[in-house]
Amino acid sequence: MSRIIVESSSTAQWQNLVLEAEAECDLQLNEDMESYLVFLLMRFLQKPEFTSKIMAMDYLHSFVANGQDQQEKLRDVGDHCLLFSGLFPKIAERRQVKISYYVGMGKTAYYHLGDTCKTQLHDFYHQLAECFVHLMDILHVIRGISQNTQILTPLEALELWGDTQSEQALKSLQFATAANPFIDQSGSKH
């Protein structure tokens, strides 16, 4: 189904797309998380060169930085990892890592950023880390809307679900295979 979104601003268009994806995921982000996601999309999708970043190096560089510079580097690592895992999961495949690699690094960057903030942003960045998988799921739906297809292969979906308990990965796996996977008490995926 094709959609034409007619809004007065690009911000409103992104917000409507995020709201539509939230509904598809059966998630309700709070206003802060929703706004952050909208502005993240607006900020980075105008800069396609961000996909060439090497997150591990940027993350390591954040540890030798100080103050505001460190906070900016950590925020960028978290943001890039969120975009990689949510909108560009094939980057992980090309770099021969699992999507959950970006999930783990992004969550850790946001947590560390929250720990470095002495202001009210401390709680915000910790909440961002906690919501990381939900935000990734919303980005998966946005990517699926734009491609009108599943963005994860069944194997990628199984790995991502097993590593992060992503609801969208589970839905993708169930759509592709009609399977209902589970994790047994030993932690093995079936």
pLDDT for 2-60, tens place per residue?
Answer: 444 445 677 888 899 999 999 998 999 999 999 999 999 988 877 766 666 666 777 77
Could you tell me the two tokens for 53? Answer: 């970043």
Q: What is the pLDDT of residue 184?
A: 63
pLDDT single digits (tens) 96-124: 899 999 999 999 999 999 999 877 888 99
pLDDT score, position 185 = 61
- 44-72 pLDDT per residue, tens: 877 766 666 666 777 777 777 888 888 99
- pLDDT of 82 over the 80 cut: yes
The domain ranges of the chain are 10-151
pTM of the predicted model as reported, rounded to 2 decimal places: 0.85
What span, in angstroms and rounded, lies between the C-alpha atoms of 19 and 13?
10
pLDDT in tens, 114-169: 999 877 888 999 999 999 999 999 999 998 876 666 788 888 888 999 899 999 99
Most confident of 75-84, 89-98, 153-162, 176-185: 75-84
- The Cα–Cα gap between 113 and 126 comes to 8
Phi-psi region of 45 (alpha: psi -120 to 50; beta: other; left: phi over 0): alpha
CA dihedral 157, 162, 167, 169 (to 10 degrees): 0
